[in-house]
Each structure stands twice: as structure tokens, then as C-alpha cells.
Structure 1
């Protein structure tokens, strides 16, 4: 009888072991497929002080990356408007898709930007412009706050005198007449002749070269193509080409201009290649209470956790950085998405886009898997165009499903929890992905998903790298 009871006990134990969930077994073994975070970490106090990135503080070729709104920024005390962020982000994405689907000339883009009747349909919209760096320009050095953008090539800043109109900016507008190192570019120079190949409009005023850059939201900048000294901490670069904008209009308010980090010859990495070898990296901070870094050159790239994927060619754009996405996983389980869903439209990585855009079928698969894993939490109303949101009022800890992207070459990048969620407030935290309108719209890896990652752009190697904990 005792023997029979022992056999029953053994069978029951085996059955219970088989009946346990994979998650429970993984938790006991220390292998979990989700991130358990304190809900309070998603909602930092608005009165928090600024915490500086040690990487930017200790590397001479590094600049502090500051979120436009928050204690680290001197530019604005205004609280971020999430509806406005998403609206402008949607405008930027639409302009990228339009630029890649309709090959208009640069002059078409500018004429549309300056038109009061026709909507602009091409030229990359400036968007929200979350992240800012400070760069020294001129002699003596004039420190200016610039948005940095991997989707643009030309670096430009507002200049005095404002021949047309200048928008309001926090710092004094750069005055080229007070700089001993400033010079205009001649209209007959090869630099001026190459404007059109860089997606800009070339004009001439007397013997001086005039540029026009139009953006998809009717924003534009126009002024002298010029050469000037640029200073990054102790690194000094003479005679870099930049736009000295004397007629500027659009969504740039508060910021002096733009630092172009695209792939074209006018971009800052291309022009400083003799020093930095056309290599740069950045880390976007987890919240506005922290700074990240923008680092030029190979400093800090010995990280053994860095994984690279080749840069792919983007049709009709020499500026954008293409990537080949081959899969997405949720909780370490690869979603069933045909490879052609990604390969047909292609993908880019963009520092100026906020929310990642995915092909409709890929987004549907991701949303379904995410909602299944989040079924224990209270659903909330959507925050258009975000449609999968949760109310974490009263919740102390959150189990955020792991989301990973697989890229060509076997590189797998696991996103941080803050790279999966878009936080409006405690009652509205959303899945930070959006479906494209059409199957053939290019996918875009946005800056929310890049938070806290070290993202490396290796020009000579033709590759982009990723590593965790990049801001430390």
C-alpha cells in the first residue's frame, strides 16, 4: 500500500511539473523573458536634478545630448506636449515616405515649403526634434544649441542679419561679421555646384552661393553657403561648409539650427573624416533628467557587446542609413512574420523620428503578442496614432515583455523597457510602435527604441552597431 502511495506521489509531482507554465519555470531558473520594473521609474519627478553622462564628461570628442524638455536643458521650461510630439512625428514620417516614393526635385520641395496653398509633400519634415547638442561656431567661439539629425546632411544655423525672417531662439543669433574665421562660398565653387546633388537648391547673389533647404512641413532655411570654424570641446575644425541662414521659418523655435549627421558629403561626419574617420556614436538618455552623449571617432568602441549589421542602400536617398530587419521577437519567441514583409519596403534608422514605424503585418503580429503578455493590466484609451495603451494607476511593478529586433548578419538587439513604451502619464502608457499606412512604406527605427543603447555609425565599415547600457 505504501509503495502504491509513493508511485502516485511521484506521478503527481511529474504531472504538476509538466503543468507549470514556461514563465514559472524560467523564473525559478533565473531565466526570465520579461523585464520587471518599478512603475515609478517610468514617471520621474519633474523637479529632479540633471544627471550628466560620464561618457560625455570624460571623452574630449563627446558632446552632452540633452532632451529638449527637462532639467538638463536651458532652452525651455515648457512641459512636453505628447499630442504635439506625436503629431509632428507623424508629419516627419509622412514626409520621409513621400520623399522615398516620389522623386521630386529640391526646387519642388522648396517651392512647396514656401507655398501657403499647397501642402508640402517631400523633403524630410523636421519633426519634434527631441535631442540637442551644443557646438562652438566662429572666432571667437559662439556656443549654439543644435538639433542633431541622422536624416539630414547640411549643418546650418540662423545668422544675422535676418534678410527675410528669423524665428525666436534662446541664444543670441550668430553674427558672421563678428567672426574672423567666417567666409562666404563662391557661386562658382565646386561646393556650390554640388548643392543640387545634396538635395538642396542652388542660387547666386552677386558672386556668393545661396542655399535653400525645404522641409516637408513648410519649414525652410535659406542663406549663404559659408565656411567657418567649428569647435567640439578641444577639437577645432577650420573651414567647414555650413548654411548661414538669414531667412528661416518653421518648427525650429528655441534652437539655433541643425547638425547634419547623414551619409552625404556635406554632413558633419563626412567633413571631419580626417580626424574622426567618419565614425560617430550616440546614446539617447532614458529620460529628460539625464544627458546622453554624441561621440565622434572611435572612442569607446571597444565594447565587446557591440553587434554590427550592414548599412543597406536606400533608394532615392544618399543621406539615410538603411537597415535590413529580418525578424522581431517577443519574450524570446520569434514572431511569425514572412521575411518579405520587411524586405519589400526596407528599413532605415532615424534619430529624428520618435516612434518606430513597422509594416502593417509586422505591427499586427507584435501588437497581438504584446497584448497577450500584458493581459493582466488595465487597458486604457489610445493616444492616436498609438492604439495599445495601459493604465498603471496604483501599480507598483510592471512586467514588460522583452522585445528584440533581428538584423541582417545575425545581430539581435534587445530593447530596454523604456524603448518599448511611450509614457504620457500614469494612466496612459502605450506600446511605442505604429503601423505604416501601406505595405511598401519604409520601416523606421525611431529614437524611443534607441534609448540607452550605444548606437554606432561606422562609415568606412558600412555598418551600424548596437550595444546595451550605452550612456554609462
Structure 2
């Protein structure tokens, strides 16, 4: 068979410090907090997928900028701990935004915020106001909350004259009227949305598996005083989980054995189901059988802040598709990333044509329906259980094979309507594994050893 180079996904997240950054010392305990998922699809939500296409333009421009200005990030050498912590992930499939959300308690005293978990972003920020005239807040968990830094005793603005501002922080501006002025950012997103504000160090309050609460200090957090666009209407900000010096995922994994893992429940699951987000060498492995699929994890500066792996080929019903190997080769202008902020899987055009052609031929007997942005959609109302749905497999380097359930690539987009859930991206260019194709699998990212382990799971805690 073949082997694949699949992007692997930065994983979620939290910057937990077991050293001075922790207010208390967790002795072999686990950290827990809520992550709420918003469903990208479901009846009458097909229009959401247009934002996936917009996001691809941003991904490609980010990678192009890296190619033009290559700078290598390597994780700091830290003394890692053998401890682990886990975070329950709750389903939130009721708004149709296509993103996964984590509830983070920020500041002192701590207040909860619902942040987009984004492996394609290295900036973490919350909506905030730095003056007394705060807008009226909504308290139903879906409305906009604002962080009030002047009411947090742990808020420490980063100065524009600091080396971190001038050399490290993503999208920091050169604006520095005085050495003590705050470090300012202007972050642009794929759909034209923007976030503008200042950087600071701040704390977050978390709960260990024992039930004990503790604080994380020194987190890099943006105070966004001006945001525009549609990306953030249902959230309070963004949790940057990309592979970079300032992201939560990189910092946390460097402290907890170099490992993190996550498991995404079915994107249409009821909100009472839960799954796991884990950092550390022990808890993550408990969900993975003794013979997991393993493939090299590619941490390439040309694709930063994205995570990548090597796809060798794709097959449908055990037949290898005719896709040029250059499509999966970073040096040839290809490669594959895994992005939690994208719902659909986006394939470079040669791969897209091969995959969609093979799947559509197997479904040729079904009545077709036109529904943008998909090329092939079907009336599924009277489809019997005896219908053969073609089996898709992505083959990674190292003989690992991702065989997602058919609902992850023949997806529900409206009542009685299913579509082949891929979209096309121009070639040359990268392909993106979206969160729908990742669902119902445990993914363990071994940053230290540059290795990805994964296995099928229902992702449900009991």
C-alpha cells in the first residue's frame, strides 16, 4: 500500500506551568476545563462552508510569507515533567459555526471566556476594554463577554521596547511612541476579520483532576479592543494553538513530556457528550490501543504555525488513486496540514479531482442535487441501508492509515441531503485536513520525538 504524509494537527492547548508559573504544585494530577464544540454542518448550514474557502486563502498566504521569510522555530529545551493533565470536551453542536471552543478562566479574579481553539493561529486573545465604560455583558454563554484588564491584579502589559514584542510575538506592530508603551498587534484572518489590541502576560485558573484549582501564570494573551468581521460573533476570542514559540500547545507540550492529544466527538453529536483534550505522556495514551497508527510529525518552518505529516497516497475501496506525488511534497510546493479552524478537508486540485471522481463514480446511481460550494450532492431521503458507501483511506508515511467513517467525507448538509465533503484548492499549494475528517479519533502529538499517533475512538467520557 502506500504511506501518507498528512498534516497533523497542532493540538489543543493549555499553557500549564508545573514550575514557578503554577501557583500550586500538581502531584501527578490532571488539569480539567470545559471545551465546547460548535457544529460546522447540519441542516441548513451549508453556507458556513464558504468561510472554509476564504480561510484557505489566508493559509496559503501565511505559508507563502514563511517561504519568503523563512525563520526556524524550535521548541525551547525545558525540563519536562512526567505528569499529565486532561480536559473534558463538551459538545456544542447548536450554533453551526464550524469551530471547536474551549472555556478558559482568565485573570485574577478569574472570569470565563469561550475561545475558538485554532491550530492555525499563534495568537491568543480575548475581547476586552481598557476603560471604565464597559458594554453591557450577556451571560448566557453564547453572548459576548469582555475582559477587564484594569480589574485583574495579574495583568502585565508587554512593553513595545521588549525583545519579545520586537522579535517574537506574531503580528506585533513597530509602533512604539515611548519605551513603556504597550506592544500593539493587528491580526488579519482569512475571511477579512481582524483583531487589534495589545499584548500582555496574564494568568488563567484551571481545575486539576483531583478537583483542586490552581493558576497558570505568564500566559501571553492579547487584549483585543477592536475586532471586525464574522469570525468572532459567537466567541469571546481565539486560543492560538499553532506551532510557534508563543502558542499554548508548544508551551504546554514542552512542559509535559513533549506530548499532547485530543479527541473530537462527532460534529453533530448532542451537547451532553464529551471527549478529551490531554497534555502528558500517560493520560493521552490510555485512550489509544497498544497498536496505534504512527507516522512522523513534520514541524517545518515553511508551514508554521501549522502541523504537517506526510501523505503517501489516497485510496478508495482499496484502489490507489492516481495523484502526483508532488502534491504531498512540501519542497515541490505541496504538503498537507491539519487545521482545527477548517471544517471541510481541502485538497490541492490534482488530489481533489482524483478523490471526488472516485467517490462520485461509486455513488452514480443516486439522484443529484445542486448545493454550493460542493460539486457533488445527493438526495439521501430514500437511500436504503444496503447502499455501498465507498471506503476512503489516507495512507501516511510509516504505513499508518486513516480510515475515517463515511459520515466524515459523505457529510450531512441539509435534511435528506449529503455531499462529498471536499473542496478544491489551486495547485501548487497545500492541502488541509479539516476537523470533520478528524472526528471520532484520538490524536496524540509527540512534539519531542516528532511523531503522531492516532486511533479510532467514539471520544466519549463516562
Query: Following TM superposition, by how much is the alpha carbon of 1:171 offset from its aligned partner in structure 2, in angstroms?
Result: 4.7
1:260-409 equivalences in 2 (<5 Å): 260-273=240-253, 275-286=255-266, 287-289=268-270, 290-298=273-281, 299-302=283-286, 303=288, 304-314=290-300, 316-343=302-329, 344=332, 345-376=334-365, 378-397=366-385, 398-409=387-398
Distance 1:202 1:305 in 2: 50
Aligned partners of 1:380 and 1:428 also within 8 Å? no
Aligned partners of 2:172 and 2:183 also within 8 Å? no
The equivalent of 1:227 in structure 2 is: 201
Distance 1:64 1:451 in 2: 18
Aligned partners of 2:44 and 2:414 also within 8 Å? no
Distance 1:135 1:80 in 2: 30
Query: Following TM superposition, by how much is the alpha carbon of 1:94 offset from its aligned partner in structure 2, in angstroms?
Result: 1.9
Aligned CA RMSD, in angstroms, stands at 3.0
Which of 233, 238, 253 is equivalent to 2:217?
238
The equivalent of 1:211 in structure 2 is: 185
Scaled by the length of structure 1, the TM-score of the pair is 0.74
Consecutive unaligned residues of structure 1, counting only runs of 5 or more, are 1-58, 71-77, 107-126
Distance 1:81 1:201 in 2: 40
- 2:438 is the counterpart of 1:450: yes
Structure richer in helix, relative to its length:
1
- 2:222 is the counterpart of 1:253: no
Are residues 69 and 273 of structure 1, via their aligned partners in 2, closer, same or farther at CA, if it must alter by over 3 Å? closer
Aligned partners of 1:203 and 1:211 also within 8 Å? no
Q: 1:162-213, CA deviations, whole angstroms, 9 ceiling, x for partnerless residues? A: 79999997153111122121111122222212246x3443433641222222
SS in 2 for 1:204: coil
| Structure with larger Rg | 1
Aligned partners of 2:202 and 2:220 also within 8 Å? yes
Which of 91, 96, 113 is equivalent to 2:54?
91
Aligned partners of 2:43 and 2:414 also within 8 Å? no
Aligned partners of 1:165 and 1:247 also within 8 Å? no
Query: Bigger CA drift: 253-262 or 212-221?
Result: 212-221
Greater relative contact order, per chain length (Cα 8 Å cut-off, separation 6+): 2
Query: Following TM superposition, by how much is the alpha carbon of 1:351 offset from its aligned partner in structure 2, in angstroms?
Result: 0.8
- 2:89 is the counterpart of 1:100: no
The equivalent of 1:185 in structure 2 is: 158
Aligned residues: 384
Scaled by the length of structure 2, the TM-score of the pair is 0.75
The equivalent of 2:84 in structure 1 is: none
